[in-house]
Chains A and B, each alone.
Chain A
Amino acid sequence: MSHRDTRQPPTRSPVREFHPRARAALDNPQIRRNFRNAMDGLKDKRRAAFEGMDLEALRELGANIRRNALARLPDLLEQLEKNLIANGVQVHWAEDGEQACRIVRDICVARGAKRVIKGKSMVSEEMELNHYLEEQGIEALESDLGEYLVQMAGETPSHIIMPAIHKNTGEISELMHEKTGTARSDNVEYLTASARRQLREKFMAADVGISGVNFAVAETGTLCLVENEGNGRMTTTVPPCHIAVTGIEKVVPSLEDASALLALLTRSATGQHITTYFNMISAPRQQDELDGPEEVHLVLVDNGRSTIYQDDELLDTLRCIRCGACMNHCPVYTRIGGHAYGTTYPGPIGKILMPHLLGLEETQDFPSASSLCGACGEVCPVKIPIPDLLVRLRRESVDGDHLHPPQVQGHGSKKKPLERLALAARKARCLPDRHRSGSALAPASTGQNGSLDPHPHGPETGQ
């Protein structure tokens, strides 16, 4: 097969090219149409899916479940680990993406594994796992249909739930024809069936299956996967070894918590009351069982999360359950698509998460690329105050608040002497205008000086 992962490591940072990429997307009517149609559809479906439910109470529950889990994070992680180990699952911890990649490689090497099949996992994208494994001579093939196509094209996903949303059927047909010899067709069923045949061979031949995790339940030591296709079940059931990778924030206290988040996740993401499969994995194949992986591993990946965790505001970022609703409702994302961002997580969640993973200097156009319209925060199923976090990151970008010392790596990188001057000039200009027309509005009012505080860094602290 020719469709090995051809993704190259970023030699020049695509993140820094946000503006030209956004412009190119805006100038591409097909991209505009694809995203607009898809996002409109997803928005309508979401609205319909929550009809008849007390959405605000449900969101409050979702937020509280995630807040509760984060408040007890270290304890829950230990409980999860203890229960998984008792169930026969091996648990690994990784400080960063590279360490997580090495852990995966070591498991593969120990098993003599050469072929890896993957279920959808955003954390593995974040780790750039496919590329790493390729370098180690291990084939890593994506099996989610959208991911499979995107990988075949040598691209990255443009949406976290619908990775190939930027492509239309004609392009996909051409791609599959070129890379797999599939006959050209505009029949989606035919193309899907072809992919099924191709991937079934790969599932059977795979030495290891790698998946993500939607919720890790501490109480029972259960890894929950949410999907429609069944490739997640294939990945976690057919190969003799299953490696699940997940961010440390994905742990929840109980199955009931997972079920509540499930109700929010699928409705928010695709407007489904539930996905086809909710797959709960608690143990590897037992002695008397006839299928299922002999080995199950969980790799808990930190990769900056414990740093975000330190700050009372930024912490909210970690509530995310990766539904993508913020993207679907974002007027910016809808117009430029996911690739313009050049990051694993695009859209509003990407704008508040990627600066922590890459630093604010690298992601310097992210915090400002929002009109702060608030649509994302309004639909977020776990009530992440995304617009407030964007403002927070803007503040960090310019070291804008002496009362709250900056926390994020790369802070102050937007602070330019010129910008400071311009701001001062704007303020100065504002004053006389203000007086002139202010008096037009209120002729009776007399000359009280509405001057700006001359001591902007005055003693504001309550200490």
Chain B
Amino acid sequence: MSDPIRIYPAKPDKVYFFGTCLIDLFYPETGMAGIRLLEREGIEIIFPAGQTCCGQPAYTSGYHDEARAVARTQLNLFANDWPIVVPSGSCGGMMRKHYPDLFRGTLHQSRAEAVANRVWELTDFLLNVCHIHLEDLGEPVEVAMHSSCSARREMGAAEAGPALLRQLENVTLRQHARAEECCGFGGTFAVRHPEISAAMVSDKVDAITRAGAPQFVTTDCGCLMNIAGFAEKQERPLAGQHILSFLWERTRSGETDQS
């Protein structure tokens, strides 16, 4: 818990992009948005082809042998010294915070630590490493921001999202009650304790709606699926989007998305 203070590196020429499973399976446009935003900052994206899952589902379920096997594959993907950016606090947290624990006392310990030290949550990276300046081209809109718990507490990146949104002239950021509270997803938690999880997400949707925001953005696809899915099922007037998709859509000018 006594994490050393992280020093942001100088803006690099290249980064590794770790795509994450949920983006891969459900929100590829968010991955593309993240890539485009970085590219626009003049950064070359290296997308290691062998990447799979970071191992977090197995890890948080207690299956550490399996998690280690999955994670070990990832350790081989980042041979050069470039930062590893992750469009998710959750997967980022797994790699940055838990890889060292998972490989402690193994032959891969030092490699795991080296990888962990280079992992950045993408909004944090855009704001504090790229020093991005966003020019808003979109219509006036009101949004709420939900930072995932892992972006907030494992990656220390809770402030990055709101700071980026505040750069957008036509976006009004609506503060909702208990913004720091979990949306109830928690991976396997939502499966093992569906009623408690449902109570949590219900409160989250209430809070965001009460704040007067017809839409919300978030750092993590898990939270996005959970909150937006619940709102949809309950026919609540609340739409959701990953913050990277939102930022890209509002700031792209005539650039074509090649995905």
Q: Do any beta carbons of A and B sit within 8 angstroms of each other in the complex?
A: yes
Which positions in A face B, CB cutoff 8 Å?
19, 22-23, 26, 32, 60, 63, 331-332, 335-336, 365, 367-375, 377-378, 383, 385, 388, 391, 393-398, 400-404, 414, 423, 426-427, 430-431, 433-434, 437-438, 440-442, 444-453, 455-462
Compute how far the CA of A201 lies from the CA of B186 in the bound complex, rounded to whole angstroms.
Answer: 51
Compute how far the CA of A371 lies from the CA of B203 in the bound complex, rounded to whole angstroms.
Answer: 15
Q: What residues on A are CB-neighbors of B52 within 8 Å?
A: 430-431, 434, 450-452
Determine whether the beta carbon of B182 is less than 8 Å from that of A331: yes
Q: Which of B122-130, B188-196, B227-235, B238-246 contacts A (4 or more CB under 8 A)?
A: B188-196
Q: What residues on B are CB-neighbors of A370 within 8 Å?
A: 186, 189
Determine whether the beta carbon of B106 is less than 8 Å from that of A368: no
Determine whether the beta carbon of B185 is less than 8 Å from that of A371: yes
- Identity of the chain A residue whose Cβ is nearest the Cβ of B73 in the assembled complex: A453
Q: A400-B65, A401-B65 given as contacts; is B49 within 8 A of A446 (CB)?
A: yes
Compute how far the CA of A334 lies from the CA of B17 in the bound complex, rounded to whole angstroms.
Answer: 38
Q: Which of B31-74 contact A (CB under 8 A)?
A: 31-32, 35, 47-53, 57-66, 68-70, 72-73
Candidate in B53, B66, B109 with the most chain A CB atoms within 10 angstroms: B66
Q: A22-B196, A375-B181, A403-B106 given as contacts; is B63 within 8 A of A452 (CB)?
A: no
A326 to chain B, nearest CB (A): 14
Compute how far the CA of A137 lies from the CA of B55 in the bound complex, rounded to whole angstroms.
Answer: 57
Q: What residues on B are CB-neighbors of A32 within 8 Å?
A: 199
Task: Classify chain B: how many residues form its interface, as a range.
Answer: 35 or more
Q: What residues on A are CB-neighbors of B186 within 8 Å?
A: 370-373
Which positions in B face A, CB cutoff 8 Å?
1-2, 17, 19, 21, 23-25, 28, 31-32, 35, 47-53, 57-66, 68-70, 72-73, 101, 103, 105-109, 149-150, 152-154, 180-182, 184-190, 192-193, 195-197, 199-200, 203, 259
Q: What residues on A are CB-neighbors of B51 within 8 Å?
A: 438, 450
Candidate in A22, A371, A414, A434 with the most chain B CB atoms within 10 angstroms: A371
6 extra A-B contacts, CB within 8 A, seeds A375-B180, A433-B25 = A335-B199, A367-B62, A371-B185, A372-B186, A391-B59, A456-B65
Compute how far the CA of A452 lies from the CA of B47 in the bound complex, rounded to whole angstroms.
Answer: 18
Q: What residues on A are CB-neighbors of B188 within 8 Å?
A: 368
Q: A430-B21, A453-B72, A462-B106 given as contacts; is B149 within 8 A of A369 (CB)?
A: no
Q: What residues on A are CB-neighbors of B190 within 8 Å?
A: 371
Q: What residues on A are CB-neighbors of B2 within 8 Å?
A: 60, 383
Q: What residues on B are CB-neighbors of A367 within 8 Å?
A: 62
- Identity of the chain A residue whose Cβ is nearest the Cβ of B186 in the assembled complex: A371
Q: What residues on A are CB-neighbors of B31 within 8 Å?
A: 441
Q: A391-B59, A438-B24 given as contacts; is B106 within 8 A of A375 (CB)?
A: no
Q: What residues on A are CB-neighbors of B152 within 8 Å?
A: 374
- Identity of the chain B residue whose Cβ is nearest the Cβ of A59 in the assembled complex: B1
B97 to chain A, nearest CB (A): 9
A19 to chain B, nearest CB (A): 8
Compute how far the CA of A451 lies from the CA of B69 in the bound complex, rounded to whole angstroms.
Answer: 10
Compute how far the CA of A362 lies from the CA of B19 in the bound complex, rounded to whole angstroms.
Answer: 40
Q: What residues on A are CB-neighbors of B106 within 8 Å?
A: 403, 460-462
- Identity of the chain A residue whose Cβ is nearest the Cβ of B55 in the assembled complex: A452
Compute how far the CA of A426 lies from the CA of B25 in the bound complex, rounded to whole angstroms.
Answer: 14
Compute how far the CA of A368 lies from the CA of B189 in the bound complex, rounded to whole angstroms.
Answer: 6
B159 to chain A, nearest CB (A): 15
Determine whether the beta carbon of A437 is less than 8 Å from that of B73: no
Determine whether the beta carbon of A331 is less than 8 Å from that of B70: no
Q: A331-B200, A335-B199, A450-B73 given as contacts; is B107 within 8 A of A434 (CB)?
A: no
- Identity of the chain A residue whose Cβ is nearest the Cβ of B109 in the assembled complex: A462
Q: What residues on B are CB-neighbors of A371 within 8 Å?
A: 149, 182, 184-187, 189-190, 197, 200
Residue pairs across A and B with Cβ atoms less than 8 A apart, 9 shown, are A331-B200, A369-B196, A371-B200, A374-B149, A377-B1, A378-B153, A450-B49, A452-B52, A460-B108
Determine whether the beta carbon of B62 is less than 8 Å from that of A395: yes
Determine whether the beta carbon of B150 is less than 8 Å from that of A394: no
Q: A60-B2, A373-B186, A441-B28 given as contacts; is B70 within 8 A of A452 (CB)?
A: yes
User: Which of B32, B50, B64 is in CB contact (< 8 Å) with A400?
Assistant: B64
Q: A448-B50, A453-B69 given as contacts; is B1 within 8 A of A398 (CB)?
A: no
